[in-house]
């Protein structure tokens, strides 16, 4: 690499560090450290990808002796009460702001949860009280807050901010936030399941230049859902690139912490973590 290119990269990192510091001052809030009960030595983060269905149905013994973290609409599935996750994380503002989305998620969550469960939500969700009132009806669910502020720049600066909980790599996907929260918990090994991220195979453009997406989740009992994307193709691809880049930043931070993230998702497009085949 030429000297001029190195200078440009360093200047960009310093500039991104300063911009991230401004974001932290503006957006991040004081949050309590995650001093939570840990029942096992390993954690499994369960994404929503369709590859999770065979694992839950055919290899349920893999989860024995491991704590679980679920996301998004997992609480609306039969697997929620069956596997009883100790942790749950939400990122999408719709869960806190949209009435229909709130009812779709929190009504079954409150009704089904009969064990101690810790629910993680971004600090931006504090100002929305309706969902918190719904969750408060359950004596088993405890809410914890985290800062989802994007932090970029010099590696030492980023890792310091991550450790202090000021922010995280750009959480373009909920699993980025899950892994960063998990790295704050006392687990040395974190497994990642249901993280297909095979979006590039699931988007297409019709003859009217409309971008379409074929979405599938492990809890979908019907066929794949086809939706018209509100975004242009380049916008979707930019978003994907940010997500995949963030996973590499998560992996670098996990190594810094002396922890290991293992992707057990067959066919996953995430190229940041070590892999392991189950069964």
pLDDT tens profile 92-120: 999 999 999 999 999 999 999 999 999 99
pLDDT at 218 over 60: no
Residue 73: is its pLDDT beyond 70?
yes
pLDDT category, 40, cuts 50, 70, 90?
A: confident
Q: Which two tokens stand for residue 19?
A: 């911009």
Higher per-residue confidence, 278 vs 224: 278
The total of structural domains in the chain comes to 1
Residue 199 has pLDDT above 90, yes or no: no
pLDDT score of 183 more than 90? yes
The whole-angstrom separation of Cα 66 and Cα 45 is 10
Domain range holding 245? 3-275
Q: Are 71 and 178 in contact (CB under 8 A)?
A: yes
Q: How high is the pLDDT of residue 148?
A: 97
Q: Centre a 10 Å sphere on the Cβ of residue 225 and count the other Cβ atoms it contains.
A: 11
* pLDDT at position 214 over 90: no
Alpha carbon separation from 268 to 1, 209, 214 (Å, rounded)? 32, 28, 17
CA 261/CA 248 separation, integer angstroms: 11
Euclidean distance between CA atoms 116 and 215, whole angstroms = 32
Whole-number pLDDT of residue 9: 76
Total-model pTM: 0.90
DSSP letter (8 states) at residue 199: G
**pLDDT value at residue 89:** 98
């Amino acid at each position: 690499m030429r000297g001029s290119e190195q200078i440009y990269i360093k200047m960009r990192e310093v500039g991104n560090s300063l911009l991230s510091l401004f974001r932290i001052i503006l957006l991040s809030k004081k949050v309590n450290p995650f001093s939570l009960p840990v029942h096992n030595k390993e954690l499994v983060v369960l994404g929503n990808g369709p590859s999770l269905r065979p694992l839950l149905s055919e290899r349920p013994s893999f989860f024995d002796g491991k704590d679980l973290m679920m996301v998004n609409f997992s609480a609306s599935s039969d697997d929620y009460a069956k596997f009883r996750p100790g942790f749950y994380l939400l990122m999408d503002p719709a869960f806190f702001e949209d009435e229909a989305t709130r009812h779709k998620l929190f009504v079954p969550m409150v009704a089904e949860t009969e064990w101690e469960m810790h629910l993680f939500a971004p600090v931006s969700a504090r100002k929305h009280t309706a969902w918190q009132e719904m969750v408060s009806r359950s004596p088993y669910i405890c809410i914890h807050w985290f800062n989802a502020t994007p932090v970029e720049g010099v590696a030492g600066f980023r890792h310091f901010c991550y450790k202090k909980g000021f922010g995280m790599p750009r959480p373009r996907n909920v699993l980025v936030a899950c892994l960063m929260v998990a790295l704050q918990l006392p687990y040395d090994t974190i497994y990642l399941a249901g993280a297909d991220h095979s979006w590039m195979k699931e988007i297409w453009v019709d003859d009217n230049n409309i971008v379409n997406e074929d979405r599938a989740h492990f809890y979908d009992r019907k066929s794949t859902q086809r939706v018209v994307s509100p975004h242009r193709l380049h916008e979707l691809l930019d978003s994907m690139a940010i997500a995949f880049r963030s996973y590499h930043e998560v992996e670098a931070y996990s190594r810094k912490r002396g922890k290991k993230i293992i992707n057990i998702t067959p066919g996953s497009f995430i190229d940041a973590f070590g892999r392991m085949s189950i069964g």
